[in-house]
Amino acid sequence: MTQLGFQCTLNVPYAEALERVTQALKAEGFGVLTSIDVQKTMKEKLNVDFRKYTILGVCNPPLAHQALTARPEVGLLLPCNVIVYEEDDQTVVSMIDPLAMLNIIQDPTLDSVAQEAAARLKRVADGLAGISEKGG
């Protein structure tokens, strides 16, 4: 199976993990454009119980501008998604790898933008994993 992104597991409660993820993304220049509470949506739309699970649509404006200027259709792949969900007593965080996502397009003019976005998101994941390993 193709690796879609970067993942780490945090040994903190879900709400705290969600806050840490948002702050770590902000430190790398990403803002949260959308936040989908999947648990709430599943309950409201299907009347089914689901684990705590949030999909964040994140964007780094300068990188998005570069990508959209080079190829307007790249907007179909934006924003980058980050998921945060509860699993047992831990919280899992996964972030899309822009390099994997842009393999769909295979346009060399987007390579540097995708590499920069991937490096930033990888630093977020690595930083969060490092915090978790230190115990908080």
Secondary structure element (H or E) that encloses residue 34, with its range: strand 31-37
> 25: buried, middle or exposed (CB in 10 Å: 19+, 13-18, 0-12)?
buried
Using an 8 Å Cβ cutoff, are 135 and 41 in contact?
no
CATH number of 5-133: 3.30.310.70
Spatial distance between the Cα atoms of 85 and 100, rounded to a whole number of angstroms: 22
Q: What is the mean pLDDT of residues 117-126?
A: 94
Judged against a pLDDT cut of 90, whether residue 135 lies above it is answered with no
Spatial distance between the Cα atoms of 80 and 90, rounded to a whole number of angstroms: 23
Closest C-alpha to 125, from 82, 72, 86, 87 = 82
The amino acid occupying position 76 is L
**pLDDT score for 94:** 96
Q: Residue 45 has which token pair?
A: 């739309």
Per residue in 13-51, pLDDT (tens digit) is 999 999 999 999 999 999 999 999 999 999 999 999 999
Per residue in 78-94, pLDDT (tens digit) is 999 999 999 998 999 99
Share of the chain above pLDDT 70, in %: 94
**pLDDT score for 56:** 98
> From the CB of residue 7, how many other CB atoms can be counted at a distance below 10 Å?
14
37: Cα separation from own chain's centroid:
14
Spatial distance between the Cα atoms of 3 and 101, rounded to a whole number of angstroms: 10
* pTM, entire model: 0.90
